[in-house]
A and B are shown apart, each in its own frame.
Chain A
Amino acid sequence: MKKYQLGEFEEIVMLTIAILYKEAYGVAIKNEIETRLKRNVSMGAMHSALVRLEEKGYIKSFDGEATEDRMGRPKKYFQITALGKKAMEYTRETRNELWNAIPKVALDLIVVR
């Protein structure tokens, strides 16, 4: 049974939130992922991921300031919760376990071109 459910994109979003620490709001997260991972992130995908994560209780949000370039709309900052932290650690551990379980030869034989 899966203890913690965390999709690939969700994991990336959470990691980014953690990286940004206190500056994690919508546009910042998007830009961070786009620059670090060189991939396009749509507003829809990101926000629905955020909503899902918040529903799962992995992140929590608080209202931030409203700036001029947002035309007065407030920012909403995200933060990892204790449960979220556990979920991230769990995902990482299962990955590591799997990595460790791979016989050395299995990967050695594959030639990366």
Chain B
Amino acid sequence: MNPPQLPLRFFRWYCHPKLADYIEGDLLEEYGKRAREKGKWRAYLKFCWDVLLLFRPGIIRPMEGYKRVNTYGMYKNYFKISFRQLAKNKSFAFINMAGLTLGFTCFLLLALYVHDELSFDKFHRDAERIVRVMQHDKQEDGSIRAIAQVSPLLGQEAAVQFQEIEAACRMSAFGRVTLGNDPALRSYERIWSPDENFLQFFDFPLVEGNPATALKSPDAIVLTETLARKYFGNESALGKTIWSAFTREGKPVYLTVTGVMKDPPANSHLQVPILFSEATWPTMFPWYNEYVSMDWESSEYVTYLKLKPGADTQVLARKIDNLVKQNHPKDKDFKSTFSLMPLDEVHFHQDNAQDNELNANSIRPFYLYMFGAVAVLLLLIACLNYVNLSTAAALKRTHEIGTRKSLGAQKGQLVGQFVTDSLVLSVLALLLSLLFAQLMLPVINEFTGKSISLIDLPLPWVLATIGLIVLTGIVSALYPAFVSTRVSAVEALKREIKFGSRSLPVRKVLLTAQFAISIMMIASTLVIYRQLQFLRTKDLGFNHENLLVIDINSNRLRRNFEAVKSEFSRPAEVVSITTSTRVPGEWKGFPVPTVQKVGDSKGRDMIFVGIDKDFLETYDIKLLEGRTIEDPKADSMKIVLTQLAVQQLGLTDPIGQMIEMPVIRFGGSREILEQPFQVEVIGVVEDFHFESLRQEMMPVIFGAPNTVIQRIDYYTLRIKTTNWDQTLETLKAINMQLDADNPLEYTFLAARFEELYQADAKRGQIFLLFSLVIIAISCMGLFALVSYSVESRTKEIGVRKVLGASVSSIVSLVSREFLVLVVWAGLVGLPLAWYLMRTWLQDFAYRVTLGSATFLLALGLTGLIALLTIWLRTIRAATANPVHSLRSE
């Protein structure tokens, strides 16, 4: 009997597979009966008719296809198996999860950190159109100095003349002033005086006051919310007046609060303190108006320009060059060029020490790259570790794989199972690391002085991070998945694990890569710590311990310094006291005169410090020849040089020689003296470091206090005390008697020098932390690899023991092959560390030499840690009773 094919095929196509078989049976049975009774042709027609009538709901297969229901079940089963696997191998799951979580957490935190650094100044509405004018001055020696300050007229004039500029805003960091209505609670506040359009130019919103008029009238100030709370409590500060140490016609100036500004966000390079209306200056200083409307030479004002869309910064910069050149005094050399720096790049330029106030928390891009690299390395290591552990774990699952294969599992399904396992683990690790990151953030913020939160991360970054981590899960699973699915079902079932040894080289390479990174990190950390140690202990040429520096903030302390000195030296704790214009580790700008022999035309830059007769004694600087400055008046045209200065000036018999200073540079501005300042050398002292050890040692010349160059600004006290609090109280009381208006401001010089390297110290700590994380993750990987190596050699170890091998010989047998890896890793990691650290050390004029000892120590340390990890596992195997291992057949 021949059933009609076409309708039958149609029927098979539409019919619900569950029903198809027996309905088909019924149809065929009927067809056969009819064909016998009524002939083939009629039976055929009837058959077609039946098939057509069967085409009705209930019999047609569902649209979605009923098969998908089954696949859901399979996926569900994947997850079920995954969770069972985790629950079954708890220690494996823990190690793997810990490694991944640690890696992800660090990656997340670093991503947050890098994102925060990149987000600087992006919050201004017109951020993309704002540029900062940079001035590049050609120096005597041909080098170029970049400064962020320009002349007062540049911005205004450029905005008028060049149509691509929409607006200009300049400001000057005035320095500090004492503020406060209550004399007991006065303190020093930093002050900026910007153009009146500052609050409209930038987006620093006001809580109170009108941004358009707040900075217009004289004596107006705008406070941040924090400062408003400090001086006015919770009341509204708007319209209130506050006492200041400024004087006008002999009377203190009361300033009026015209606005309260939200505290600037932490990711702003302008950490705006108090804003002060520029209109106040002419009322105090008669020369001010002339200065700002005539001067094209000085470099005092930070100037920002808001450009119209599409403006060409290069072209505009050349126009500015010309503008300044035309207005520059004709009789003086013009050696400057200008450039326009986009606002979002400002954060990555540390221009010079004086700019720190106008570019808070700036960072060199090098560090950003480094942290970015560390983040990627961490993630990489966590992944390698994961791959390693999973491959090893797959060994244990050969039975399962064999069973699945013999039951007909496809390769894709096995891979699916592995990927699911991996995804479950990595998603769990992701959730955990989000939790840890959230918990860690307060600590990180405290440490970095930032205010990072997980929510700040914009959506694309969140998606990228999560995507990357999920991808990590998938990619990490692929290798073990393919390795373990390649084996034949029979091999897998017989537990004749051949692929374990085949995949070992790959796993060893992965492990070597991990250890290479670990060694690199450890070596780098060691170098950083050695350098920091070097900076702290290096002989600066003077004794900076127990030195207390008092800032002079008023004329009352400045005028009669001998009397002030005798007042301050009254307490027994004060061993000696001196006054000077500047102190080592200077935090304000210092004058750098060009010094030359009389008659010479080429001079050298040197640091000028005015001192009194007690300076050398207080600072412990050794006098080599001649005498020091003794009487401020009689010695006002005398000078003391450091050895380096003598050498640079080329003096053979320095005492009695005449030298002169024709030009003095102060911060960004150069002042050419009408008559060179001529002085006689009366003494030579030993060299000492005036600045941080990042800079090459500069020659120093000591002159009398209160010369034409600069007036005294500090008292330095050498103090010998056991109770610092009490000593400070005594000094504060003395200060109160001398000057009731201005509170005592003091600095410990040793702490000041420590501060110079604080950023480096923090980076050192961060490096240490990440090195620990990386070595921890690597050791987990090593541990896992060793345990599998040991497990697969259980029988061998048993036989060896039975034949009389000692524990130590077995341990060394297993350890040897892994220790070789560490050496290989060292060969890769150490050169990398050497290169990295050489780049970093170039920041310091004085640095440790990169000897091999540090690197060998790093290698040794890593080797030791690796050895301990290996022993932890092998000792157990080596001491186990061979009966157990040999019985395992």
Give the interface of A toward B (CB within 8 A). 25-27, 30, 42-45, 47-48, 51-52, 63, 66-67, 69-71, 73-76
Given A44-B53, A73-B24, A74-B25, do A51 and B30 touch, yes or no (CB 8 Å)?
no
Which of B55-63, B692-700, B789-797 participates in binding chain A? B55-63
Give the interface of B toward A (CB within 8 A). 1, 3, 19, 21-30, 32-33, 49-50, 52-59
Given A27-B26, A43-B27, A43-B54, do A73 and B59 touch, yes or no (CB 8 Å)?
no
Q: Is the CB of B59 within 8 A of A25?
A: no
Nearest to B53 among chain A residues (CB) is A44
- Chain B neighbourhood of A73, CB < 8 A: 21-22, 24-25, 28
Partner of B23, one of A42, A47, A52, A71: A47
Q: Is the CB of B50 within 8 A of A44?
A: yes
Q: Is the CB of A42 within 8 A of B28?
A: no
Q: Which 3 residue pairs spanning A and B have beta carbons closest together? A: A73-B25, A44-B53, A26-B26
Q: Is the CB of B21 within 8 A of A74?
A: yes
A71 to B24, CA, bound (A): 9
A74 to B22, CA, bound (A): 5
- Chain B neighbourhood of A71, CB < 8 A: 1, 3, 25, 28
Nearest to B26 among chain A residues (CB) is A26
How far in angstroms is the closest Cβ of chain A from B46?
9
A76 to B57, CA, bound (A): 20
Binding site secondary structure of chain B = helix
- Chain A neighbourhood of B56, CB < 8 A: 44, 48
Q: Is the CB of B28 within 8 A of A69?
A: yes
- Chain A neighbourhood of B22, CB < 8 A: 25-26, 63, 73-76
Q: Is the CB of A42 within 8 A of B25?
A: no
How far in angstroms is the closest Cβ of chain A from B40?
15
Give the most central of A27, A52, A70, A75: most B CB within 10 Å.
A70
A75 to B26, CA, bound (A): 8
A37 to B735, CA, bound (A): 124
Partner of A70, one of B19, B25, B59: B25
Given A69-B32, A70-B29, do A42 and B24 touch, yes or no (CB 8 Å)?
no
21 interchain pairs, CB-CB under 8 A: A26-B22, A26-B23, A26-B25, A27-B29, A43-B23, A44-B50, A44-B53, A44-B55, A44-B56, A45-B53, A47-B19, A47-B59, A48-B56, A51-B59, A52-B58, A66-B25, A69-B1, A70-B26, A70-B28, A71-B25, A73-B21
A45 to B49, CA, bound (A): 12
Given A48-B58, A48-B59, A51-B59, do A43 and B53 touch, yes or no (CB 8 Å)?
yes
A47 to B58, CA, bound (A): 9
Nearest to B49 among chain A residues (CB) is A42
Give the most central of B22, B55, B59: most A CB within 10 Å.
B22
How far in angstroms is the closest Cβ of chain B from A108?
42
- Chain B neighbourhood of A27, CB < 8 A: 26, 29-30
Nearest to A49 among chain B residues (CB) is B58
How far in angstroms is the closest Cβ of chain A from B7?
12
- Chain B neighbourhood of A70, CB < 8 A: 25-26, 28-29
- Chain B neighbourhood of A69, CB < 8 A: 1, 28-29, 32-33
Q: Is the CB of A42 within 8 A of B30?
A: no
Additional 20 contacts, C-beta under 8 A, given A43-B26, A44-B56: A26-B25, A26-B26, A27-B26, A30-B26, A42-B49, A43-B54, A44-B52, A44-B53, A45-B53, A47-B19, A47-B59, A48-B58, A48-B59, A51-B19, A69-B28, A73-B21, A73-B24, A73-B25, A74-B21, A74-B22
Q: Is the CB of B1 within 8 A of A47?
A: no
How far in angstroms is the closest Cβ of chain A from B387?
49
- Chain A neighbourhood of B27, CB < 8 A: 43
Nearest to A63 among chain B residues (CB) is B22
A42 to B48, CA, bound (A): 12
Nearest to B25 among chain A residues (CB) is A73
A42 to B56, CA, bound (A): 12
Binding site secondary structure of chain A = helix
A66 to B21, CA, bound (A): 10
A70 to B29, CA, bound (A): 5
How far in angstroms is the closest Cβ of chain A from B9?
15
- Chain A neighbourhood of B55, CB < 8 A: 44
Q: Is the CB of A44 within 8 A of B59?
A: yes
- Chain A neighbourhood of B25, CB < 8 A: 26, 66, 70-71, 73-76
How far in angstroms is the closest Cβ of chain B from A5?
15
- Chain B neighbourhood of A63, CB < 8 A: 22
Nearest to B18 among chain A residues (CB) is A51
Nearest to B22 among chain A residues (CB) is A76
- Chain A neighbourhood of B23, CB < 8 A: 26, 43, 47
Give the most central of A26, A43, A48: most B CB within 10 Å.
A43
A42 to B32, CA, bound (A): 16
A33 to B59, CA, bound (A): 21
A45 to B30, CA, bound (A): 15
How far in angstroms is the closest Cβ of chain B from A28?
9
A63 to B25, CA, bound (A): 12
- Chain A neighbourhood of B3, CB < 8 A: 71
How far in angstroms is the closest Cβ of chain B from A73?
3
Q: Is the CB of A42 within 8 A of B53?
A: yes
How far in angstroms is the closest Cβ of chain A from B435?
48
- Chain A neighbourhood of B30, CB < 8 A: 27, 30, 43
A67 to B23, CA, bound (A): 14
How far in angstroms is the closest Cβ of chain A from B55?
7
- Chain B neighbourhood of A74, CB < 8 A: 21-22, 25
How far in angstroms is the closest Cβ of chain B from A56?
12
A75 to B58, CA, bound (A): 19
How far in angstroms is the closest Cβ of chain A from B52?
8
How far in angstroms is the closest Cβ of chain A from B60?
10
Nearest to B52 among chain A residues (CB) is A44
A26 to B57, CA, bound (A): 18
How far in angstroms is the closest Cβ of chain A from B797?
58
- Chain B neighbourhood of A76, CB < 8 A: 22, 25
A51 to B56, CA, bound (A): 11
- Chain A neighbourhood of B32, CB < 8 A: 69
- Chain A neighbourhood of B28, CB < 8 A: 69-71, 73
A97 to B252, CA, bound (A): 113
A47 to B15, CA, bound (A): 12
How far in angstroms is the closest Cβ of chain A from B643?
105
Given A26-B25, A70-B28, A75-B25, do A43 and B58 touch, yes or no (CB 8 Å)?
no
How far in angstroms is the closest Cβ of chain B from A79?
15
A47 to B25, CA, bound (A): 12
Nearest to B16 among chain A residues (CB) is A51
- Chain B neighbourhood of A75, CB < 8 A: 22, 25
Nearest to A51 among chain B residues (CB) is B58
- Chain A neighbourhood of B26, CB < 8 A: 25-27, 30, 43, 47, 70
- Chain A neighbourhood of B19, CB < 8 A: 47, 51
Q: Is the CB of A47 within 8 A of B24?
A: no
- Chain A neighbourhood of B54, CB < 8 A: 43-44, 47-48
A67 to B57, CA, bound (A): 28
- Chain A neighbourhood of B29, CB < 8 A: 26-27, 67, 69-70
A63 to B57, CA, bound (A): 23
A39 to B55, CA, bound (A): 21
How far in angstroms is the closest Cβ of chain A from B12?
12
A32 to B26, CA, bound (A): 14
How far in angstroms is the closest Cβ of chain A from B8?
10
How far in angstroms is the closest Cβ of chain B from A70?
4
How far in angstroms is the closest Cβ of chain B from A50?
9
- Chain A neighbourhood of B21, CB < 8 A: 73-74
A95 to B25, CA, bound (A): 36
- Chain B neighbourhood of A66, CB < 8 A: 25
A69 to B52, CA, bound (A): 22
A6 to B680, CA, bound (A): 125
How far in angstroms is the closest Cβ of chain A from B531?
81
Nearest to A43 among chain B residues (CB) is B50
How far in angstroms is the closest Cβ of chain B from A54?
10
A84 to B56, CA, bound (A): 24
A18 to B1, CA, bound (A): 32
How far in angstroms is the closest Cβ of chain A from B293?
96
